[in-house]
Structure 1
């Protein structure tokens, strides 16, 4: 079973989390163990940044690219998957339309079991307003 965390400032995810996925309720709970995969939403990054003494350890971290500065201070990760609208991000959108989008995996992603997610494009039938958070969720699905 893979330990993973989706941390979104206490917000309930829109769908039930799969078996083996945890959602810590506090920043302190987030720092109590080493996570195999840590997925941080924008709200989760903000909460972590507001607790500068908190340090998280993980194998892979997925986070919006605007918050990549956390990996230098508070998130100690073996692999960083940045999610955003920049061509430098590991996960981005290659196209976005009215209500749909195409997610682009721009480089090989290493899964916790050692497998790989190859660069590819994935059409999505829906597009929410929190695009970077949507990329984090898609990335979490790809890694797990």
Structure 2
């Protein structure tokens, strides 16, 4: 079954990275018909990579197959001034790690998206939130919350 966005937006010349989200008995084989110039698809990972240099709307047909059968679905890329045409699905570290974010925790969270199969359902973002926007920090780098009150 092919999951994930049916439309993807990108600006001309920007790096293109899109994982075809699909579920089924592995291994899966991925193919894309009408793939525009500048893009390639890895038939074993389902990653579409490259860059589109010109604006336009590109209509493609994604196919995913395994030993049990195959699925196909339309996929459109709009290359131009608009992006995020489909709301991104992902995970935010704040509610889990708060201010104690580190490399090991982020990598283990990303691996969990793969291991739990969430990436196969279209989850494709890890948002690292460590309170970077805090105005003040301690010497150890921790944020200090300030409350503005009227005087």
Same fold (TM over 0.5): no
From the CA coordinates, give the structure whose radius of gyration is larger.
2
- Structure whose residues are more often helix by fraction: 1
Scaled by the length of structure 2, what TM-score is found? 0.25
Scaled by the length of structure 1, what TM-score is found? 0.26
